[in-house]
Structure 1
């Protein structure tokens, strides 16, 4: 069963989704500042997003919805393709390590 998030109708729906890749990084969280609240008056009302620039980062940045730029389909394709190639290389390395262990084993 998929987790469900309920959003009050008067909030509007967020433009971006959790785990979505953007030009600023990957969306890890989102929160809403309702209008007529102190936070909305101080920072602007609406959806805000927490993004991590890359998967190896320990930094987290916060953006308003209108500050986020989505990736083009070409940029998204390129990022995913690069990850696939990286993990395929890792699999090849691990297979070579397993073969070396099996070849060195006295019970082989």
Structure 2
């Protein structure tokens, strides 16, 4: 069963989704600031996104809808391919470690 997020009536729908890759980084959180609230007065109403610019960092940034730019399909493909290659390299290292402790080949 897929998790479901309900947006209350009267709220705008977000332009971006959790886990979406953007030019600013990976969206890891979302927060809505309703009109006529102190938070909206302070930060502006609408959605604010928490973005992780680099998955190897603990730094995060917050952006409004109009501050985030989407990636092109080519940019997303390049990011995904780079991640796949990184994971494949990690797998090779783990296989070498396994082979070293078992005394055999773990190239499976």
Output the TM-score relative to the length of structure 1.
Answer: 0.90
Q: Which runs of 4+ in 1 moved over 3 A?
A: none
Q: Map 1:55-74; keep pairs closer than 5 Å.
A: 55-74=55-74
Q: Map 1:1-108; keep pairs closer than 5 Å.
A: 1-103=1-103
Output the TM-score relative to the length of structure 2.
Answer: 0.90
Offset from partner CA, 1:34-93 (integer Å, 9 cap, x none): 111111112111011011111111111100011001111111000000000011111111
Q: Residue 88 of structure 1 aligns to a residue in which SS?
A: helix
Q: Residue 9 of structure 1 aligns to a residue in which SS?
A: coil
Question: How many angstroms apart in 1 are the aligned matches of 2:33 and 2:102?
Answer: 58
Q: Over the residues paired in the alignment, what is the CA RMSD in angstroms?
A: 1.2
Q: Residue 94 of structure 2 aligns to a residue in which SS?
A: helix
User: Which runs of 5 or more structure 2 residues have no equivalent in the other structure?
Assistant: none
Question: How many angstroms apart in 1 are the aligned matches of 2:88 and 2:50?
Answer: 30
User: Which runs of 5 or more structure 1 residues have no equivalent in the other structure?
Assistant: none
Question: How many angstroms apart in 1 are the aligned matches of 2:24 and 2:62?
Answer: 10
Give the drift of 1:9.
2.6
Q: Give 1 or 2: higher helix fraction.
A: 1
